[in-house]
């Protein structure tokens, strides 16, 4: 099978981690939410210079090992993304999943099953980064997920929920790139050495995840904001995942709007996320931009909403209260 003469298009959301960074592979509960900041991959007949760095060619080779009839060269690819890069919002995973989906849509009509897509995308990234599978499930399943982590393989989906439609998510991109190149190696060494700081983090983050999930199910926005705040404190105080700049942004946001922000994704730098009512969202965003403009002109404030994933409607989903 060659690349063929057909075009394809895949659109994949990004995700925010509301609580439980690293618990998807350390073990414990984490809460993810798909966001409507999407990555779009398009393919066209013929071949061309890869977009998106080296991922298009590498994903194609990964697929050829499992679908031998694919041609030797990937099709021409275009990439567009709403999510800030290297921000802890899983834009890389969204790109990888979109490549898998776009490449297989015409090669294996109507594409590979979503469970296979999640497993293959996880296996591809695990070989590069040795990390967990929260991101792959989050962008494929969509909505809110309560996950139970394990050392290898995709986490177990304990529950799914529709994020309340009356709630919005505000992303504050710090304009500093998140670099986790060494993070997973360091944390795996902590785990092997039974580091008490890591044990404290795992315990507190797991509790915050349980409370965040209960708040989503109960329609308790203030309870969710409180749980996210505690999750951030555990990341900062026990694992050093925050930075002085991120803490300044959190303080400035709290002064300007009362919004409590949490770092999304392990490591330093990247984006902070907060939850607020859709009613009054424009006023919150305007006040937040005004409050950050003088001291942090590079920071971007991005309003967004929860997003559906790639899985067809249905499955075990809990509707929120209220």
Provide the 3-class DSSP secondary structure of residue 92.
helix
Q: Is the pLDDT of residue 47 over 70?
A: no
Q: Is the pLDDT of residue 48 over 80?
A: no
Conformational region of residue 320, where left means phi above 0, alpha means psi within -120 to 50, and beta covers everything else: beta
Cα three-residue angle 18-281-272, rounded to 5 degrees: 30
Q: Is the pLDDT of residue 245 over 80?
A: yes
β-strands 317-318, 156-161 pairing: parallel
pLDDT at 302: 98
What Cα–Cα distance (Å) separates residue 135 from each residue in 32, 95, 212, 252, 289? Answer: 8, 11, 18, 29, 28
94 touches 55 (CB < 8 A): no
β strands within 83-225, DSSP E: 144-149, 156-161, 167-173
Provide the 3-class DSSP secondary structure of residue 272.
strand
Q: What is the pTM of this model?
A: 0.92
pLDDT at 2: 41
C-alpha to C-alpha distance for 141 and 319, rounded to whole angstroms: 15
pLDDT, tens digit (0-9, with 9 covering 90-100), for 78-135: 999 999 988 999 999 999 999 999 999 877 777 789 999 999 999 999 998 888 999 9
Higher per-residue pLDDT: 6 or 154: 154
What Cα–Cα distance (Å) separates residue 233 from each residue in 212, 217, 222, 274, 299? Answer: 14, 23, 17, 14, 21
pLDDT, tens digit (0-9, with 9 covering 90-100), for 182-204: 899 999 999 999 999 999 999 99
Residue 89: half-sphere exposure toward Cβ, Cα within 13 Å:
30
Provide the 3-class DSSP secondary structure of residue 29.
strand
pLDDT at 68: 82
Phi, psi of 37 (to 5 degrees): -95, 105
């Amino acid at each position: 099978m060659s690349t063929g003469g057909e075009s394809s298009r895949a659109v994949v959301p990004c995700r925010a981690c509301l609580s439980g960074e690293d618990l998807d592979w350390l073990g414990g509960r984490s809460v993810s939410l798909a966001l409507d900041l999407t990555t779009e991959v398009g393919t066209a007949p013929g071949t061309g210079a890869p977009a998106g760095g080296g991922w298009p060619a590498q994903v194609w080779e990964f697929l050829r090992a499992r679908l031998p009839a694919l041609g030797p060269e990937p099709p021409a690819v275009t990439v567009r993304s709403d999510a800030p890069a290297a921000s802890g919002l899983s834009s890389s995973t969204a790109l990888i999943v979109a490549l898998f989906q776009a490449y297989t849509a015409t090669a294996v009509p109507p594409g590979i099953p979503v469970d296979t897509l999640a497993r293959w995308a996880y296996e591809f990234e695990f070989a590069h980064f040795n990390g967990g599978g929260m991101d792959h499930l989050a962008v494929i399943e969509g909505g809110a997920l309560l996950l139970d982590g394990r050392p290898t393989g995709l986490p177990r989906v304990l529950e799914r929920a529709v994020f309340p439609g009356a709630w919005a998510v505000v992303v504050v991109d710090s304009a500093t790139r998140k670099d986790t190149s060494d993070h997973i190696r360091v944390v795996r060494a902590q785990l092997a050495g039974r580091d008490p700081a890591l044990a404290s983090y795992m315990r507190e983050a797991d509790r915050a995840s349980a409370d965040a999930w209960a708040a989503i199910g109960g329609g308790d926005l203030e309870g969710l904001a409180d749980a996210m705040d505690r999750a951030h404190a555990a990341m900062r105080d026990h694992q050093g995942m925050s930075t002085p700049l991120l803490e300044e942004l959190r303080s400035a946001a709290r002064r300007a709007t009362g919004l409590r922000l949490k770092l999304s994704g392990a490591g330093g730098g990247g984006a902070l996320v907060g939850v607020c009512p859709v009613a009054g969202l424009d006023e919150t965003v305007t006040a937040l931009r005004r409050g950050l403009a003088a001291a942090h002109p590079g920071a971007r404030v991005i309003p967004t909403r929860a997003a559906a994933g790639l899985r067809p409607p249905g499955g075990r989903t809990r509707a929120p209260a209220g």
